[in-house]
Structure 1
Amino acid sequence: MATTQRTTQGATQSASQATDKSNSVKEPSHPVTDQLKETLHSSVDKLANSAGVAEENIRSTATKSADNMSERRKLAEQKWEASKIRKYAIENPVATAGMAFAAGMLVSSLFRKK
């Protein structure tokens, strides 16, 4: 058992000495790997910059679209308020409901499978 402990301690000391030696080396020990790492880092940085620009464009476009839709909704509401159809529907609700029912029946009969 004592031999096993000595062997284990010796292996641990050898490994720590090897680690100490490899940590003291200041020049890259893997030039291809280091070059690949630098290339990948620069690619990721370029991709991040492109994604940032794309996000800004999307946000800008979404804001413009939301503003445009809001203006169109307001315009449609104004047209509806001034519409003769709205006025007729308010003045004659029963006739309007009857026409809507008839139109629904017509569309339903056209789409019914025979």
Structure 2
Amino acid sequence: MATSQPTLAQSNSSLNAPVTERASQAAHHAVDNVATKASAAEDTLRKTAAESAEAIAQKQEAIKQQLQSSYSKTRELAAQNPLATAGIAFAAGVLFTALLRRR
């Protein structure tokens, strides 16, 4: 008893196919939108990270120059005033020793 009429499952799948196709297209569209937004966010993040790295490098160089300048000035002051330098070193040693003895 072969019939040429489609079964209930076949008729439902042919009716649902457009719905499934539309749902699939909507899902793909949503995924594409999310991917586009994620790509833009990634680009912004990478740009910000690169700018931050440059700013940090510049600040690091400025601090390095300030440190070298302070070091040079300290050495000059120590060379010009050796007695004061010795007095400061002695006072620092006394203070350090006093702090260690309290423990």
TM range (shorter): 0.5 to 0.7
**Aligned twin of 1:71:** 65
Aligned-partner Cα distance in 1 for 2:42–2:34? 12
1:101–1:70 distance in 2 versus 1, CA, 3 Å:
closer
Task: Give the TM-score normalised by structure 1.
Answer: 0.55
RMSD: 3.0
**Aligned twin of 2:47:** 53
Percent identical pairs in the alignment equals 5
**Aligned twin of 1:100:** 92
**Aligned twin of 1:82:** 76
AA paired with 1:88?
P
How many residues align structurally?
81
Match of 2:32 among 16, 31, 38: 38
1:100–1:57 distance in 2 versus 1, CA, 3 Å:
same
1:102–1:85 distance in 2 versus 1, CA, 3 Å:
farther
| Deviation by residue 1:41-88 (Cα, 9 ceiling, x = unmatched) | 111111111112111211111111111012111111211111148852
Task: Give the TM-score normalised by structure 2.
Answer: 0.60
